[in-house]
Homo-oligomer: A and B are copies of this chain.
Amino acid sequence: MAAERKGGVTISQVAKEAGVARSSVSRAYTRPDMLSPETVERIKAAAGRLGYVPNHTARALSTGRYGNLALIVPDVANPFFPPMIRAAQVEADRSDFCVFLGNSDEDPEKEDQLLGRFSGQVEGIILASPRLSDERIAAHALLRPLVLINRDVKGIPKVLIDSGTGIAEATQHLADFGHRNIVYVSGPSTSWSNKQRRAAVRQASKKLGLDLSFVSASVPSFEAGLQAVDAILAKGATAAIAFDDVTAQGILAGLGERGVSVPGEFSVVGCDDALGPLTVPSLTTVSSRSIEAGKLAVSLLLEVLGSQAVRDASYVLETHLIVRSTTGPAPERGQG
């Protein structure tokens, strides 16, 4: 039991112990079919005696196969991401990959930094809802296999959650309830999802003849939603569709503070189904499919790594409205 050596046992030590060359020790692990069974046996025995464990890092250096991948998200604590992270994690695990997690704090520069720091030790990177410019993303994609989630850059494999379908359903839902004047509370201007949702609500409103205004909550957070309430009410709307559930919760809290009842006097729709039915009243929202997105992104990345051919693959996940308890008939009041 010589495992007490500080720095770990190396193949050289095992080679000496077993009376073979270093290369044979290496092969005993990577290509045992190349060696005679007895030699393999002898080497493994020696390795066991010394407590040898192959060095992941050294192996990575010479093979270029790191067995690692990185996942970069804007905000780990935003409830939209944890289920996605978890799914990615689990999927990577199934192929013996380790996952680096990066948190960009919604900051493009930090995202760029993280990309650089990771790129030396991973085989591929998944960028979720990046805030970075298309050019920078394309530049990084040249260096390493890259898969995007919720961002559409030409030539780069991606998984898109199409919240447009769900948002359209939500708009229809509000129209059915008799709402004529609604507000979209938008998220980060650099967010692909935000652009998509904004476009979807605009298009649906136009088609349905609704009166639509915009209020901006540049960072999606509870506070931002809270602070948007005055602006929302000033528009004279009777319903709001929020960029995401966290913002929606902030709006609900703000409405509560001002004594506006939901859904009696005002209806609210979130997006991403990040909180599930946890809240009371439970939030009407658009499904997110973030779990599938995380899982899919990893398997897509691994596929790209397997076949050199970097196919420009796109997966699109459609979403739907989940009706819960924060939407109801428009209040009776004169409306022009």
Asked whether A155 is an interface residue with its Cβ less than 8 Å from the other chain, the reply is no
Shortest 8 CB-CB contacts between residues of A and residues of B: A56-B120, A101-B101, A76-B86, A89-B103, A77-B82, A55-B120, A56-B121, A77-B86
* Identical chains bound together, number: 2
**A53-B120, A75-B86, A116-B53 known; A252 vs B280 contact (CB < 8 Å):** yes
List chain B residues, Cβ under 8 A from A279: 249, 278-280
**A3-B139, A53-B116, A58-B61 known; A278 vs B121 contact (CB < 8 Å):** no
**CB atoms of A117 and B77 under 8 A apart:** no
Asked whether A177 is an interface residue with its Cβ less than 8 Å from the other chain, the reply is no
Q: Scan A21-48; emit 1 where CB is below 8 A from any B CB, else 0.
A: 0000000000000000000000000000
Hey, which bits of chain A sit against chain B, CB under 8 A?
3-4, 7-8, 53-58, 60-61, 64, 66, 68, 75-77, 79, 81-83, 85-86, 89-90, 93, 96, 98-103, 105, 116-121, 139, 142-143, 222, 246, 249, 252-253, 256, 275-281
List chain B residues, Cβ under 8 A from A280: 252-253, 256, 279-281
**CB atoms of B276 and A222 under 8 A apart:** yes
List chain B residues, Cβ under 8 A from A96: 117
A249 to chain B, nearest CB (A): 5
